[in-house]
Amino acid sequence: MADKARTIQLKNIGIIGAGQMGSGIAHVCALAGYDVLLADLTSDKIESGLATVNGNLARQVASEKITEEQRKAAIDHLSAAEGLQDLASCDLVIEAATENEAIKRKIYAELCPLLNPEALLATNTSSISITKLASSTDRAERFIGIHFMNPVPLMKLVELVRGIATEDDTFETARAFVTSLDKTVAVSEDFPAFMVNRILLPMINEAIYTLYEGVGSVDAIDTAMRLGANHPMGPLQLADFIGLDTCLSIMQVLHDGLADSKYRPCPLLVKYVEAGWLGRKSGRGFYDYRGDEPVPTR
| Distance of alpha carbon 204 from alpha carbon 237, whole angstroms | 10
Per-residue confidence (pLDDT) for residue 6, from 0 to 100: 83
Mean pLDDT score, 9-20: 96
Catalytically active residues, by annotation:
126, 147, 159, 197
Tell me phi and psi for residue 231, to 5 degrees: -80, 145
- Whether 207 shows a pLDDT value over 90: the answer reads yes
Nearest one of 232, 234, 211, 212 to 224, comparing CA atoms: 234
φ, ψ dihedrals at 160, nearest 5°:
-105, 125
- 121 by DSSP, 3-state: which? strand
Residue 8 in this model has a pLDDT that exceeds 90: no
How many angstroms separate the CA atoms of 128 and 96, rounded? 12
pLDDT at 179: 98
Instruction: Dump pLDDT digits (tens) for 237-271.
Output: 999 999 999 999 999 999 999 999 999 999 999 99
pLDDT 10s digits, 22-68: 999 999 999 999 999 999 999 999 999 999 999 999 999 999 999 99
Span(s) in the chain for CATH 3.40.50.720: 12-188
CATH architecture of 196-296: Orthogonal Bundle (1.10)
CATH of domain 12-188: 3.40.50.720
Query: CA-to-CA distance for 291 and 170, rounded, in angstroms?
Result: 47
Q: Are 112 and 121 in contact (CB under 8 A)?
A: yes
CATH 1.10.1040.50 domain extents, the chain: 196-296
Kindly compute the dihedral angle of the four CA atoms of residues 266, 270, 276, 279, in this order, to the nearest 10 degrees.
20
Using one digit for the tens of pLDDT, what is the confidence trace for 69-91? 999 999 999 999 999 999 999 99
Closest CA to 179 of 160, 206, 204: 160
Helix (H) or strand (E) holding 134: helix 130-134
Locate the DSSP E strands across the chain.
12-16, 35-39, 78-80, 92-95, 120-123, 143-148, 157-162, 184-188, 287-288, 295-296
Coil, helix or strand at residue 92: strand
pLDDT tens column, 125-161? 999 999 999 999 999 999 999 999 999 999 999 999 9
Which is nearest to 7 in space by CA: 169, 182, 142, 179? 169
